[in-house]
Amino acid sequence: MKIFCDSADYKIFLRYKKDKIIKGFTTNPSLMRQSGAKSYKSYSVKLLKNSSKKPVSLEVFSDNIDEMYNQGKIINGWAKNVYVKIPVVNTKGKFTGKTIKKLSDEKVKLNITAVYTFGQVKSICKKINKKTKVIISIFAGRMGDQLKNPIPIFKKSLKHIKKFKNVEILWASVREPYNFIQAKQLGCHIITVPPKIIDKIQSFGKSFDRLTIETVKAFLTDSKKSKFKILN
């Protein structure tokens, strides 16, 4: 399973562009805004130039389905390692299948995002060209936030796309390091992970005894820094 870094922070790109563990990057308009991007194009091109040619997902931001196509074509021209991110529906709930089909038929690599149901996965698969690379990003963490179990949807989706050699299932909206284990056990092709959790994944394998000691040391360090006293 491939690990992607979920960030639009330029410094994070520089940090991970040569890291052998990180195989790609995913961004979205929210992450772009948080990173201080002023010009979507110039900032995106800057990220692409510092990605070591690893795949980078850049999202369209129009709510108009026809305009999504136009934006997707433009974004695709920025670099060969671009995956154009298309939301599965617009804000009115209209399926973006028309745009998915047109871009896919024109050999534009796609990352279909904000996917929550198996029905959406099936609808996407009906629209894609089997010769064009497609990532389907299923938002596991946000399902969990609503007390919904994402595992059944992943199982059905992974089984369904076996006949599509060009399609990869991505575990999105990671909430904790253990999601990496869950995604790997399911057979997901990709998991996209925020930087703070990547650091934790890279430290996998510590014994519980070691974790106990590290935890107690952290408590002791913080109490000394705070200069706590029981009697005052």
Is the per-residue pLDDT at 69 higher than 90? yes
DSSP 165: T
pTM of the complete model: 0.91
| Amino acid code (one letter) for 49 | K
Q: What's the CA gap between 1 and 59, in Å, rounded? A: 23
Per-residue confidence band for 230, with pLDDT thresholds at 50, 70 and 90 = confident
The top-scoring range by mean pLDDT among 147-151, 196-200, 209-213, 227-231 is 147-151
Mean pLDDT, range 172-188, rounded to an integer: 97
Are residues 124 and 100 in contact, defined by beta-carbon separation less than 8 angstroms? yes
Phi, psi of 169 (to 5 degrees): -95, 130
**pLDDT score for 203:** 74
Mean pLDDT, range 85-99, rounded to an integer: 98
DSSP 225: H
**pLDDT score for 29:** 94
Instruction: Name the percent of the chain lying above pLDDT 70.
Output: 100
**pLDDT score for 232:** 61
Both tokens of residue 146?
Answer: 């609503």
**pLDDT score for 207:** 80
Is the per-residue pLDDT at 111 higher than 90? yes
**pLDDT score for 205:** 72
Architecture of domain 2-205: Alpha-Beta Barrel (3.20)
Flag the least confident range among 9-18, 142-151, 212-221.
212-221
Q: What's the CA gap between 21 and 150, in Å, rounded? A: 25
DSSP 20: S
DSSP 132: S
Average predicted confidence (pLDDT) for the chain = 95
